[in-house]
Structure 1
Amino acid sequence: MALGRGDACRARGAVGTCGAAQAALCKATAGHRQLVLQLGGSADGPRLREERRRRSTEARELSAGLQHALLAGLRQAPARPEEQRELERLWVLFLSALELFLQDLCRAHHLCQLFSTEGGGAALLRTGLGGRGPPSRKGSRRGGGPTQPPAALHLEEEIEQVRATLAEMESRANIPPWTVEATQPAGTGGTAAPAAEVTRGAPHVGHCCSVL
């Protein structure tokens, strides 16, 4: 049965909305990854950890919105085959991006246990630049950074939330990841969404694959 003009517009709108949300999610998770890589290093401290939590919150909020939009798009009146395939492709890319985000959260949890800004953990790694020795625990908080609650507890909650989202995604949409194949040679990269660029360090996701 042919689609009405309103159905076609809704389908195109769903694809555009989800594509933009996917690009924003890639940007947020890429920024989060850059912060995670600095944990335990010379730039570590309360400010960096607060920013990591902020980026994590942003990524999880974007994930919730994207999941809702994709489910709505996939369950509405069937779109043209091309638009349906695009929504399914975005679903699989979203699943992959969330799995990488979960890996980064687990890495952050491990590093925050090794290098705690609270009492009782190992001292933060310092390079010694500027002729100063390793600062005391109190000194590592200078600069007016916010006092954080225990990082491990926060990260455990973040990890469980992302795991729950992944489990819900896998149960609510029957889109096997193996139905997506690469359409570009390895190493050529791609874009996260139509007319969108991914920040440096983001996963290579986007129009480099299609649904079989």
Structure 2
Amino acid sequence: MAPGQRDVCRARGAAGMCAAAQAALCKATAVHRLLVLQLGGSSDSLWLREERGRRSTEARELSTGLRYMLLEGLEQAVAGSEERRQLEQLWVLFLSALELFLQDLRRAHHLCQLFSVQRGGTAPLHTGLGGRRGGGPVQSPIALSLEEEMEQVRAMLVETENRVNIPLWTVEATEPEGTGSSMGRVTQGEPPTGHCCSIL
């Protein structure tokens, strides 16, 4: 097999593995979002917050693995090839997924500061009528952990943006046949569920 053909085969394999990892990341961040939306509500509890932490860890591990796979695949892919375009699409979707994940972490951090959970109990719904104890909110260990999570994801997002030179304005929104408005789902805050862009 010629060197160029080997590169194509490696890129094709990388695109398939990255697509599978992207789907797993979207699923993990979607579950994490559902847990975040319950913070401060009637179903909030220590278990919920611990489960959110586990899901966040899963999403960050998937993000780290996908990032390395994408970078390696883009380095090996033949310029101008279909495989290269697929990897570039996945790179853009990966950045979008990271941005949404970071937004959810910020939301979780804010809600955990507003609503405290005692071990063995549930979080009360704060109405604002009782004021604040001690003159201000007390940061829990969960809130401090969330700050570290946010910093890790933020740093990964910045580093990933700077490692690959793919201008985002070269990406065109598309809609796969028979799937409805996939870009509409993304703009409403839901994680992307498939390929919804192509390189111009």
Mark yes or no: TM-score above 0.5. yes
Candidates 174, 177, 187, aligned match of 2:168 = 177
Candidates 137, 146, 150, aligned match of 1:159 = 150
- 1:104-143 to 2 correspondence within 5 Å? 104-118=104-118, 124-125=124-125
Please name the residue that 2:181 is paired with: 188
Q: Percent identity?
A: 71
CA contact 2:8–2:83 (8 Å) conserved in 1: no
Paired amino acid for 1:116? S
Partner secondary structure for residue 198 of structure 2: strand
Partner secondary structure for residue 165 of structure 2: coil
Please name the residue that 2:39 is paired with: 39
Considering only aligned residues, what root-mean-square deviation do their CA atoms show, in Å? 2.5
Please name the residue that 1:150 is paired with: 141
Paired amino acid for 2:152? Q
1:86-124: CA deviation from partner (whole Å, max 9, x where unpaired):
1001001100110000000000000000001159xxx52
**Aligned equivalents of 1:98 and 1:63: distance in 2?**
8
1:10-66: CA deviation from partner (whole Å, max 9, x where unpaired):
111100010000000000000000000000011101100000000000000000000
Please name the residue that 2:49 is paired with: 49
Q: Return the TM-score normalized by structure 2.
A: 0.81
1:204 partnered with 2:192? yes
Residue 79 of structure 1, CA deviation:
6.0
Give unpaired runs (5+ residues) of structure 2: 127-139, 184-188
- Give the paired residue count: 177
Greater CA drift, 171-180 or 28-37 = 171-180
**Aligned equivalents of 2:4 and 2:59: distance in 1?**
35
Greater relative CO (CA pairs within 8 A, separation 6+)? 1
Paired amino acid for 2:8? A
Would you identify which runs of 4 or more consecutive aligned residues in structure 1 move more than 3 Å? 2-5
Residue 210 of structure 1, CA deviation:
0.6
**Aligned equivalents of 1:167 and 1:209: distance in 2?**
21
Report the structure, 1 or 2, having the larger helix content.
2
Paired amino acid for 2:158? A
